[in-house]
Structure 1
């Protein structure tokens, strides 16, 4: 999901006349796009009337036009675009987010806009996710006084409480149904069921019913409880799943449990080879183990030993078993169907794990059990094997790599003289970093290092002393600092941060085209916008303008943004500047606009700048806490959000 950066500077939050879609000055001509959208709905979703958003991307995949509601804004009447190639993406709802009665429609096409020509394009939108409803048989409802089902997968979860008839929409992938029951005696039970092979645009009806006789198992030898009865109606794109629940089995239902012993923080153990203490894993699966999947992340075990990345201990092949035995991996004699506790003692295996290249090697393991009732449980743990050397340099976690600072970590046997050295990868001279004392464990030490250059490769190493007091060095670790505000081509992720570049542009105001001041360089696409176009609809006012005199005396600082509150034809217009773009004027005192621009740069740590502000008493109207006679307020802020598209603001509906 793309990140969007949204920042705004304003004297009052946008009230009054605003402006509509930007029509950019183009050097290569412009043409009109007439866009038609067709919704391909299935039988189960004909009543759905989705709000379709349209994003138009240029050849560089930058969003040049965003329409929050295609039908409401009547965008089918024509869209003015610069000549060139475009992708048109239409979407409604979110495919990766579970929601009630809100399917995700998605469609995409490409088109070519030619100078002074009209281009027609059609996008067919199809449902891109899965619909799920839950129902219960009459005998089921009589036996249980309360019941609910939580359906979930990676897209999220929805709980179908008693009496819920709405449909939920999920990503088209494996579904997990968790049923919570209360019987006539007040006893509570919980069951989990899993259903795979989920397809998009299908309606899955989960029907729970009482059924099954423990004395008369089905053809597969099961006493019931799985997704036993599945009916697919291809003509209606419907899958009916009948799920029998056996009363006799409820008292024995309990989800599997894992218990780790001997591990530290984050389920990790760190030691030199041969120095690991006891560690073990206990598994309890009262319904019987059906599958016990082990996933391994380890360069040496996979690339050197040839161990597969994942294997099922309950159905283990001979070759994999031989390789596991070579590192003393504990393998119980019987796993499949076992209902007793299983104990895995990893002490001997942990001391057989090796370290290579004189640096710490980490071996990650994940155990996932599925029992006979398709209930799952997982647990992860790891061993970090340190090399048998006097000084160790630790890898830097990705989360600790910033544009101008990072954290060094090391371990030394010596009690003094420990610290670090670092240099640019292209330099030969090391820069020392002193450390006053070790951490609480008495072994490791660390340092916060700042003053680094963005997007630059460095090398660092830990330093210690041997028994004779001579310096010894740990392994060298390479790292690269994060981006600041420029990519590898020296192009800023956030352009015109100093508000030095301005231009005069022409675009549609409330009724006709107007000239207005824009906080963007002449030939650059719109990144920053203001309410100038709307405010200029009646006369030239430009509440937001370029200021060249009152500026901070800093090198290369040419201009600043001057934000002034003005009254235009009796209507208040606030000075404001923000990342995003106006969409349309609403009446005479409202606007639809989009906040936010795509952001793919490094992680910001702060917003730095300068402002000069002369507040005045509110003397016209007011807004919420800014009543007439109160002192005006200035707002300056920045937010980094996980948005797929800009956030649409509608000032008339107070949707901020």
Structure 2
């Protein structure tokens, strides 16, 4: 099979061609960007030959990941004058989608490199655009075909991925990298066999699954040819299938059942008479001792389930269903991994002029506030406090003010996200959320105290007489759809630190989060705008203190 890499070469020249030299002479802090060529080199496996006609788009991004120049086709990229700085140059397939999976999906290439433009110096950067997806194909030995006939095989993955490979299917399918892949053989009559291909599919790799038979226990062998990025996975399928009296459900790809520190085990007991308690046994795959838990029967069915907790983050487990001397197949799953949220105790702060930042650097690098907008004319509304004003170490103090030029009023706030003042459209200054690929939390807890002042500004919702504080958490999936939300609203003054606990309700348990925010504000409606004016009801002087936030995972 032929193989391909798309290589993009960029030349960054700090001096201009003769026609532009005078501009550079006048602006020594600028450089000249020129895209030279796109070449084809055959060294990464793909299903089809890619030629120089592959349409490659190019983005030039600044340090904040904002696109400063884009071309749908690299050939159409005009010469660009850029300020002296460090840039990321990203090249990628312009007319394809990386998330498309299956036989009809097309190869998607991407790559990037950074370059520092310096005045009066020539720069060269090369980008190698590699296949961003994984390829998978299924081959059946003659022994397998003669034993099992025309049974259908499926390659299964995350988010209910299931690609059927018929008896004579020879094509390879493209799937998203990073997910666990399993081959499932469906024998009919409710019988099937599953085997994991890989716990994490690598980009630019081809997994060739070879199905064969064995009279003994099932198993598989993997051989790797790194020169062409190909895995040969030989899966040995037992010729005799286990009884369906006890069936362990395979939950490894069921996002709704596998979380960070707990899992819902499930299975079925089809015995005519159940004379013993139905149970589940589970353990870490690296350990030998099993833990037994009682199973709960779903009313009116032969299905059973059990919640097991606490489990360890990012850990592989084995489990099976049992009733007396009857057991189901042993299956596996891996819990979600832990990703830390920085500065949840609010002990880390940095000051720059009148502005305070709840980060180790003097910027809104993770936590953000509206301070930079307010301090143009007022003092910061969100500041650190310590000593008697904090519960431990330092705490965050947020205060609502009025008499703010243009917007009228400003609530103190602290949130995970970014803030950049937009004078024409103040509501667009805030962008909530940061990338998050960790385990799904189920609760947000912490401590707060609050001074609620009488409403003296705003018209909406129009029913408040005293101000309300608000603390909430929100999670989104990769498509930007909200999948989880929980909030706390305080309407009364509390003069000592008091615990709060927020249960996170997941509207979609089949999706894992890609973005998360936590927000605290001294006025619940301080972010409601009409045009450039705050219209939400707020009370000047309302003050919220928060400290020692914590996320729980079971």
TM-score (norm 2): 0.46
Q: Which has the larger radius of gyration?
A: 1
Q: Which has the higher strand share?
A: 2
TM-score (norm 1): 0.40
Structure with higher RCO (Cα < 8 A, 6+ apart): 1
